[in-house]
Amino acid sequence: MQEPSFETPNRRGGVPKRLVFEDRGMIYRQGDRCREALLIESGLVRLSRLHADGREVIVDIAGVGDIVGNLTASNEWTATEEARALGPVTGTAVHSLFGMESVPLEFVQALMRRTNKLKERLVSHLVESVEQRLARSLHDLALAFDVPCTHGFSLEVLLTQQDLADIVCASRPVVSLALNRMKECGLLNYTGQKICVHAHAVEAWAKTLHGEPALLSR
């Protein structure tokens, strides 16, 4: 089956187009020219950027209510990252702001959520230790993935340690040390590309770190 694509003409006043992507389905590639954005209704989208030296770095994990793709007022936008489905994803294609007589409320709300998320992430990177950032990210990701764990924990996060290192802007060895400490505290376990998390216990543990000196370098 051919994957849905954003490479469709911009339509004024047309009926919103609903798109479905299979697990690992490509939504758009870095460098693609996109006319539309995707308002996510279910599932998660992995946003990553490929650097000149060949390294692929995760930029963000977008979930329900988030919007990815062309968020500009231009009729065409060159994607600065790759967007790929993590599990099945459904969403509505939102036309770019170019030529719009009015902006859909959902679009505005999604943009506000994304802006607030980026602000919180910036503040977190400036003032929190790696452990605090990791705990916050694991809690949010566990709730976003919402995959029941079969190993005695509450939820599973389908990401690798390197993926988490990218998200919290730390090196993999430092993140591995932090995960080991959390594992020793009984908050999580990991196997392969799955991290099993007691989501609410991780959140509570993160709060105890406030006021402590950072145990791991940023």
Local confidence pLDDT in tens for the 218 residues of the chain = 334 444 443 444 455 688 999 999 999 999 999 888 898 999 999 999 998 888 888 888 998 888 899 877 777 789 999 999 988 999 988 775 555 566 677 777 877 887 887 788 778 777 888 888 888 888 888 888 877 887 778 778 888 888 889 888 899 999 999 999 888 988 888 876 788 888 888 878 877 765 443 344 33
Whether 33 maps to a domain, the answer reads yes
93 with 172, same domain: the answer is no
Which phi and psi angles does 123 have, rounded to 5°?
A: -60, -40
71 with 119, same domain: the answer is yes
26 with 118, same domain: the answer is yes
94 with 178, same domain: the answer is no
Whether 218 maps to a domain, the answer reads no
Q: CA 54: distance to chain centroid?
A: 21
Whether 30 maps to a domain, the answer reads yes
Of 73, 105, 123, the residue at which a domain comes to its end is 123
Q: CA 48 to CA 46: how far, in whole Å? A: 6
Q: Which of 81, 25, 34 is nearest to 56 (CA)?
A: 81
Is the entire prediction scored with pTM above 0.75?
no
48 with 93, same domain: the answer is yes
Of 78, 98, 123, the residue at which a domain comes to its end is 123
In CATH, what number is assigned to the domain containing residue 200?
A: 1.10.10.10
For CA atoms 13, 2, 70, 144, give the dihedral sign. Answer: positive
Number of domains in the chain: 2
- Which tokens is 197 given? 């998390």
164 with 148, same domain: the answer is yes
62 with 110, same domain: the answer is yes
69 with 55, same domain: the answer is yes
Of 67, 95, 123, the residue at which a domain comes to its end is 123
Buried b (16+ CB within 10 A) or exposed e, 69-94: bbbeeeeebebebbbbbbbebebbbb
Contact 8, 17 (CB under 8 A): yes
Q: Give the pLDDT confidence score for residue 81 in this predicted structure.
A: 93
Domain that holds residue 169: 128-209
In CATH, what number is assigned to the domain containing residue 111?
A: 2.60.120.10
Q: Give the pLDDT confidence score for residue 68 in this predicted structure.
A: 92
Whether 189 maps to a domain, the answer reads yes
